[in-house]
Amino acid sequence: MTDASDPAEAGEHPEQADVDEPKADAAPEAEPAADEAAEPEKKKSTARELAVLTVLALAAYYIVLTFVARPYLIPSESMEPTLHGCQGCTGDRIVVDKVSYRFTSPHPGDVVVFKGPPSWNYGYKSIRSENAAVRMLQNTLSVIGFVPPDENDLVKRVIAVAGQTVQCRTNTGLTVDGKRLHEPYLDPATLGRDPATDPCLGPEFGPVTVPEGKIWVMGDNRTHSADSRAHCENSPDFLQTRIYCTGNPDHGTVPVANVIGKARFIAWPPGRWGGVITVNPQQGD
């Protein structure tokens, strides 16, 4: 009988034992070579996956900005204290809902962002660089939302909608269809005037009947807001009456088609996080 562990048998073939051992050790040496060959392919696969994920992320971001929601910076004080903004300070960044008005129209009290009509663009300065190459890059980045669009985007509160008549007189205050408005968002400290004693917070105007497909908008900071009152047309007898906005109502009103969306909440700075509350001024008192 033979036994694999018998020393006598192992001694009969000493050379064979010496030759067989290196063969057993040689097999693992092939594995690193195989790993090295597969490594470039793994790197290529990872790069492809990252490229695909980047494209998908940019596409999703573009879709969200175009059809769902978009952030906007408040650059001026015209909507104080509801929305904070000023030159050289950290203005509010709001998120604007672009979906709601696909199914409904703006309502009185909504705070909306809209593209200024041509008659509102006097004095607007392009935010694009004068350098052609930089301007092209800005326009490209604007498509995917990394740079704001080069348009006169404004934010105001809807006061009256199509078919309604808005006007202001010192003895009646701001009215829509003859009913005085209830506006708790007006702040005397911000305005520098008291709405109770100076209800128009500016010159008397109207009556203006809002045309079909249009809205009448005003800033919450009435004494520092270039809104529908500032862009309306006066009638030929203005020098005698001193009543503003009694001419063609198309100039002071904003097409609903120009409305980009409804301001939903303040996303930045953190200390001002919160929703943009809608208050219908035509309801209340």
Give Cα 65 distance to the centre of its chain: 7
pLDDT digits (tens, 9 = 90+) for 174-232: 999 999 999 999 999 999 999 999 999 999 999 999 999 999 999 999 999 999 999 99
Is residue 96 pLDDT above 90, yes or no? yes
DSSP for 44-68 reads HHHHHHHHHHHHHHHHHHHHIIIII
Average pLDDT, the chain: 86
Does the pLDDT at position 159 exceed 50? Answer: yes
**CA–CA gap between residue 156 and residue 111 (Å, rounded):** 6
Average confidence (pLDDT) over 115-135: 87
Q: Going by C-beta distance under 8 Å and a sequence separation of 6 or more, which residues neighbour residue 46?
A: none
| pLDDT tens per residue, range 263-278 | 999 999 999 999 998 9
Task: Name the residue ranges covered by the structural domains of the chain.
Answer: 75-275
Q: CA angle, corner 37, sides to 35 and 38, nearest 5? A: 65
Q: Residue 169 has which token pair?
A: 């007189």
H/E stretch holding 11 reads helix 7-12
Whether 85 shows a pLDDT value over 80: the answer reads: yes
Residue 38: the pLDDT is 67
Residues labelled catalytic: 78, 156
Rounded-to-integer distance, Cα 45 and Cα 43, Å: 5
- pLDDT, residue 36, reads 63
Domain 75-275 has CATH 2.60.15.10: no
pLDDT value, residue 44: 78
Confidence of residue 31 (pLDDT cuts 50, 70, 90): low
| Spatial distance between the Cα atoms of 199 and 188, rounded to a whole number of angstroms | 11
Res. 10 pLDDT band, cuts 50 70 90 = very low
Question: pLDDT higher for 63 or 143?
Answer: 63
Burial class (CB in 10 A: 0-12, 13-18, 19+), 281: buried
